[in-house]
Amino acid sequence: MNILVTGAAGFIGSHVVLRLCQSGYQVTGIDNLNSYYDVRLKLARLERLKQHSNFRFVQIDIADLAGLSQLFSKGLFQHVIHLAAQAGVRYSIENPMAYADSNLTGHLSVLEACRQFHIEHLVYASSSSVYGLNSKVPFGEEDRTDQPISLYAATKKSNEMMSYSYASMYQLPSTGLRFFTVYGPWGRPDMALFKFTDAILHNKPIELYNHGQQSRDFTYIDDIVEGIFRVLNHRPVALPIPHQLFNIGNGSPVGLIEFVEALEKCIGRVAQKLYKPMQLGDVSKTWADSESLFQKLDYRPQTSVLTGVQKFVDWYRQFYGF
C-alpha cells in the first residue's frame, strides 16, 4: 500500500510515518518545514525517518494545489493521512492569517487532490478544541461543536465540515480524528510538557494559567499512532455520506498541578511556579469519551501520565544532552 502523510516532519506525523515504515508500507511524507518552532527539531525527526528505504520526503506546502496535484499524479497513493496544520491556540491570536493559509486553504487543497485522484480513504487530524465551551463532560462525538473560542478551534471545526461536504458531494471516504492533548518524545516546543521540562532543567520558573486550576485529557503519542493505524483500514462505507469522527483521548483528565507533580518526580527537581490568569482562547477542562473508538475498533488509549512523562523526559535529556 502506498500512503501519503502530510506534516511528516511534525510531532505526530513523524511518529505515524515511523510506524507505517516499520509495518512495511511505502510512505511519502510532505512538509513545508516552516519556522513556527525550531526547524532543527523537524530536520532531526526527518533524519530518523530517512533511515527507512520505504520512505521518501518531499518539501511542499499543502496550500499549493498545483504542486500537490503533480505529486498525487506521480505518487499513486491509495490512502492519505493528513496531519499538516498550523498548530497552537495562542499563536492563532498573534498570527491569524497563518491559520487561514494552512488550515483552511491547505485542507481544501488536500481534499481537492484526494477527489481528483480518487483516494480510497482520507484520515485527517481534528482537535478536542472543537468542543469549545461545551459544559457536558466527557466530550462525545455527537456533542455540540459550534462554540469555538479560538481561531484555531474554528479552523478545525471548518475542516470537519469541509470534509463532510466532500464526502457528501464526491463520496470521498473520510475520517476525522479529534486528538486530546498529545504528548511524548519528539514533541513540540510550544506545548506545556516541553516548556515545563525545559524550564525546570534550566532552573527557570514555569507558568501555570488559570492559577493551575485546569485539567487536560493527556494522550501519549504511541496511543494516538495506534488509533490512527487502526482507523486507516476502517474506511467509512455507510451511505449516503462516508464520513466519520472519532475522539482519541485517554479518557481520564489530569489536573495541571498533578501533571506538574508527575514531571517533578520524573526529573527529580521541584519546579518554581508562577500562577497566572486564564489565557485568551483557552479552556479549563478537556475530557474525551472514546467509547465509539472502542466499540468500532476495539481500542482504548491506556498509557499513564507518569509513564508517558518519564519517556518524554528521558528523550529530552538524551536529545539535548542533559
- CA dihedral for 127, 247, 17, 222, sign (positive or negative): positive
Cα distance between residue 94 and residue 265, in whole Å: 34
Q: What share of the chain is helix, strand, coil (3-state, %, to 5)?
A: 45, 15, 40
Cα distance between residue 282 and residue 278, in whole Å: 7
Residue 173 and residue 237 in contact, taking contact as beta carbons nearer than 8 Å: yes
Residue 166 and residue 172 in contact, taking contact as beta carbons nearer than 8 Å: yes
- The cell for 45 is 525527526
302: which residues sit within 8 A by CB, 6+ positions away? 223, 250
Q: 512538509: which residue's cell?
A: 31
What single letter denotes the amino acid at residue 258?
E
- The cell for 48 is 530518523
Residues annotated as catalytic are 152
What single letter denotes the amino acid at residue 35?
S
